[in-house]
C-alpha cells in the first residue's frame, strides 16, 4: 500500500549505466533471496542485444539529505575469475554528489513479446508507487520496441507485487512449479493485456494520472 505522502524531490528515469551497477546490486540484495550471478548486469549491458534496463534516480529537494547506498565492493577474486574484468573489484569511492539509484527494471525482447526480467525498489523508498513508475516506463518502452504483450514471473507469496501487476492489467496465465531455488516456491506466470489496445492505454494512463498527483518523474539520458 502506498503511503499518503512522499518526499518532494524529483525522480529521474534513464538507461542503466555501468557505474549504476554497484547500487543496483545492493538494491537486489535488499529485495531478493536469490541474486543474479556476479557480473550478470555487466554482461547484460555489454552483450545482450535483447536486453533493456532502466534505473530510477532521486534528486532530493532543497535541504533534503539522501545519499547513495553504502555499496560493499567485492573482494578480489582468485584465478581463474581474476582474468575476467567483470569480476574485478571497483576501487572508486561513491560520489557524494551522485544522484542515488532508488529502483531499476529490465526486460528481454522476444520477437513481439517482452519478458520482464527483474524489478526492484530500494527498501527505504518502497510504498510510494515507484514500482508502478518503473513498470509503466518499461511497458511503454516495450511497446515502442514493437512488443504486443509483456510477461513476467512472480512468487505466489508476493501479494504486494501481484496486486500491482493486476492494477496494471496483468492476469495469471500459468504456474512454474518449484521455480524459486531458495525455498521451492511456485512462480505465477502473468501476461499483460495487448499493449496497443485502447483499453490498455486507458488503464495505464489512469494509473499514471494517479501517480502524478503524488510523484514527479521525468526521463533523462543519464
Question: Catalytic positions, please?
Answer: 153, 165
Buried b (16+ CB within 10 A) or exposed e, 106-142: bbebeeebbbbbbbbbbeebbebbbbbbbbbbbbebb
SS3 69: coil
What is the rounded CA–CA span in Å between residue 117 and residue 97? Answer: 30
Q: Is 200 helix (H, G, I), strand (E, B) or coil?
A: helix
Helical pair 130-144 and 159-167, crossing angle rounded to 10 deg: 50
**CA-CA distance, 117 to 43, in Å (whole number)?**
14
CB 9 within 8 A of CB 64: yes
| Cα(200)–Cα(204) distance, integer angstroms | 6
Helix boundaries (H) for the chain? 21-31, 40-47, 130-144, 159-167, 198-212
Q: Omega of the bond prior to 78 within 30 degrees of 0, cis?
A: no
Amino acid at each position: 500500500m502506498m503511503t499518503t505522502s512522499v518526499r518532494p524531490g524529483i525522480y529521474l528515469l534513464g538507461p542503466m549505466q555501468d557505474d549504476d551497477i554497484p547500487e543496483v546490486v545492493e538494491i537486489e540484495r535488499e529485495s531478493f533471496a536469490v541474486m543474479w550471478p556476479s557480473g550478470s548486469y555487466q554482461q547484460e549491458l555489454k552483450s545482450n542485444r535483447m536486453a533493456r534496463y532502466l534505473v530510477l534516480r532521486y534528486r532530493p529537494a532543497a535541504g533534503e539529505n539522501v545519499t547513495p547506498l553504502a555499496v560493499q565492493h567485492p573482494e578480489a577474486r582468485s584465478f581463474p575469475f581474476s582474468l575476467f574484468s567483470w569480476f574485478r573489484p571497483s576501487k572508486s569511492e561513491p560520489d557524494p554528489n551522485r544522484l542515488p539509484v532508488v529502483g531499476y527494471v529490465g526486460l528481454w525482447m522476444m520477437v513481439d513479446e517482452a519478458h520482464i526480467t527483474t524489478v526492484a525498489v530500494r527498501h527505504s523508498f518502497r510504498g510510494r508507487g515507484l514500482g508502478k513508475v518503473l513498470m509503466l516506463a518499461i511497458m511503454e518502452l516495450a511497446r515502442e520496441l514493437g512488443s504486443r504483450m509483456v510477461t513476467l514471473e512472480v512468487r505466489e507469496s508476493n501479494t504486494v507485487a501481484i496486486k500491482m501487476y493486476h492494477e496494471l492489467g496483468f492476469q495469471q496465465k500459468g504456474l512454474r512449479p518449484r521455480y524459486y531455488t531458495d525455498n521451492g516456491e511456485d512462480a505465477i506466470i502473468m501476461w499483460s493485456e495487448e499493449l496497443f489496445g485502447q483499453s490498455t492505454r486507458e488503464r495505464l494512463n489512469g494509473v499514471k494520472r494517479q501517480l502524478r498527483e503524488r510523484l514527479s518523474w521525468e526521463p533523462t539520458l543519464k
